[in-house]
Structure 1
């Protein structure tokens, strides 16, 4: 178990080194990097397509990199915005790493890019532990996902600089309890800014782009600190914390699971 922990820490340390190099590379170009993370089906690609289209129309030079385990469907879709787009296929890896992103940007990223949008693999566990050299880390949450998502994934939500709620136009129809969601966010990431958006109606897109522009102009981003009991969850684990944790748990009726 110790060797597994040491190896994981070494992998994260190497990624952090590469993230520093990438952050310097982007800073020298004046490019704001935005790391977008969410569960599958949150509407991340749909919202990003609108952000790219409206951002370009308003004079904000943008580019996007999208990561998936397989297929180039998202890159094809995002290219409809007219912005430069690249696809990274992780070949089964559950997250994007700084080295993978840096290699893809070399010789491709246009010199005048104001904002680089990075659509991470659809996953709220593994990507949360990997710094991509981003300036702004956004976690997206759909109103259809359940208000307790921040408590279930405290690392992802707890390390976010900004939280974006998607599909807000159907919030009432699906019975979304906004107050409960906001309370759960406050427990893991106090005072983090939250934007409510809809890719279909355009709700909140303009204000989100305006905030991104302010960040690129030098406005300080929210600096999260994992709150209280969740602080130990900074990095996810692939091994059991205790050997007993890897054993089958008893079912509610007392029989073996």
Structure 2
């Protein structure tokens, strides 16, 4: 496994994040925490924690692995799972985030990826395309629940592609290696410029919202590549995410279905309504009709 070199001090971590657009922190979660997350993924697959739009639950006697293989990705699992909700505020994760984008940090999304053998990856993209912030503070936190390797579909990144703050154009694609989400194109990088982010279970990858990254299919025969991926930003900025109500100008729209994980929220007076619900991301097994 070709693991990225860790940054040891806060200053090293900040410098690596600014230069490359990502940061790998080894063994940020303990083995017991990872085991609990794997079991929770199985509980979600069996429907024990509530309904997930688009998911037909596994049988009650299905193993955790069998149950989790029923989906590629569940969005907003923290809405179902108290454990995954608590991970949003994991002390070690928050300590790193405040060093990168703090002092006031809020979370707005969680995603549970399972990627069993043969499941697709996701084409080149920038998370800022999907979650538009105003201050470029968007940060993904990718928690490895299994060892992630080139063979089973680890992340690949284009180092430094975040620096300009340019959002590249996107298009539909028919590449069977990837799920149904659109791909970014037109950027001044080649696939050969990418580096694999191979990590061990318990390692955590922090990455900038403008970083171009992708993953390839799980072509191995050694189990799933599970990951819990959470998104954060500075609480000092509003979030014009998803469609605003018809009577609200986009300049005033602030998506408030958030969880404050550090510092204070200057917009707390606006409340935190529930605007999202757990859902399964389409993959190519079910077709890509939108």
TM-score bucket (shorter structure): under 0.3
Bigger fraction of residues in strand: 2
Query: TM-score normalized by structure 1?
Result: 0.26
Query: TM-score normalized by structure 2?
Result: 0.24
Give the greater-gyration-radius structure (CA): 1
Bigger fraction of residues in helix: 1
Q: Which has the higher contact order (CA 8 A, sep 6+)?
A: 2
